[in-house]
Amino acid sequence: MSPRSLRHPAIVVPASSPNAYAVARALYAAGVPVVALDHVREAPLRYSRWCQFRLCHDPIDSERSFVDSLLETSASLGENPVLFPTQDLHTLILCRNMERLKDQVLFSFMSEEVALNCVDKRRMYPVAQTCGLTVPETFLPVCSGDGTSDPSSSYMFPCVVKPAAKFEMRNGRFCSNFGFYAVYQTKALRCRDTRELVRKIDDVRKAGFTAIFQEEIPGPTSNLWAIDFYCSRDSVILGYHTGRKIRQYPSDFGTCTFGRSEKREELYSLCATLTKAIGFHGIGNIEFKERDGKLYFLEINPRAWQWLQMACASGVNLPFVAYSDMIGARGSTPHMELRKPVFWVDLRRDTKHIRWRDRRVLGTGELSFLRWLNSVRHARVEAMSSLLDPLPLLVIVLRKFLRVALSKIRIGAGGDSPVARY
The CATH code of the domain that includes 81 is 3.30.470.20
What are the DSSP calls for 266-290, one per residue?
HHHHHHHHHHHHHT--EEEEEEEEE
Domain of residue 182, residue span: 137-215
Contact 331, 1 (CB under 8 A): yes
Name the DSSP letter for residue 417. P
What is the rounded average pLDDT of the residues 120-147?
A: 86
Residue 406 belongs to some domain of the structure: no
Task: Please check whether residues 300 and 188 belong to one and the same domain.
Answer: no
Tell whether the model's pLDDT for residue 422 goes beyond 50.
no
pLDDT digits (tens, 9 = 90+) for 172-219: 888 888 999 999 999 999 999 999 999 999 999 999 999 999 999 999
Is cis: bond before 250, omega within 30 of 0?
A: yes
pLDDT of residue 362: 47
Task: Please check whether residues 224 and 310 belong to one and the same domain.
Answer: yes
Domain boundary residue among 215, 245, 269?
215
pLDDT of residue 337: 55
Q: How buried is residue 112: exposed, middle or buried, by Cβ count under 10 Å (0-12/13-18/19+)?
A: middle
Task: Please check whether residues 112 and 261 belong to one and the same domain.
Answer: yes
Expressed in angstroms, the distance from the first to the final Cα of the chain is 37
Domain boundary residue among 343, 378, 406?
343
User: The dihedral of CA 51, 52, 56, 58: what is its sign?
Assistant: positive
pLDDT digits (tens, 9 = 90+) for 251-284: 999 999 999 999 999 999 999 999 999 999 999 9
* Burial annotation 41-66 (CB, 10 A radius, 16+ → b, else e): eebbbbbbebbebbebbebeeebeeb
Number of structural domains (the chain) is 2
Domain boundary residue among 309, 343, 377?
343
Task: Please check whether residues 191 and 230 belong to one and the same domain.
Answer: no
Task: Please check whether residues 37 and 101 belong to one and the same domain.
Answer: yes
Look at residue 140 and give its three-state secondary structure.
coil
Residue 206 belongs to some domain of the structure: yes
Residue 30 belongs to some domain of the structure: yes
Task: Please check whether residues 321 and 294 belong to one and the same domain.
Answer: yes
Task: Please check whether residues 184 and 290 belong to one and the same domain.
Answer: no
Greatest CA separation for the chain: 67
pLDDT of residue 202: 93
Tell me the C-alpha distance between 268 and 232, whole Å.
Answer: 15
Contact 38, 19 (CB under 8 A): no
Task: Please check whether residues 104 and 158 belong to one and the same domain.
Answer: no
Residue 100 belongs to some domain of the structure: yes
Task: Please check whether residues 83 and 226 belong to one and the same domain.
Answer: yes
Task: Please check whether residues 103 and 228 belong to one and the same domain.
Answer: yes
Task: Please check whether residues 226 and 332 belong to one and the same domain.
Answer: yes
Residue 313 belongs to some domain of the structure: yes
Q: Name the helix (H) or strand (E) containing 372.
A: helix 369-376
Residue 195 belongs to some domain of the structure: yes
Name the DSSP letter for residue 334. P
pLDDT digits (tens, 9 = 90+) for 18-52: 999 999 999 999 999 999 999 999 999 999 999 99
Tell me the C-alpha distance between 341 and 262, whole Å.
Answer: 6
Residue 288 belongs to some domain of the structure: yes
Tell whether the model's pLDDT for residue 416 goes beyond 70.
no
Q: What are phi and psi of 411, to 5 degrees?
A: -65, -40
Residue 158 belongs to some domain of the structure: yes
Name the average pLDDT for the chain.
89
Task: Please check whether residues 146 and 23 belong to one and the same domain.
Answer: no
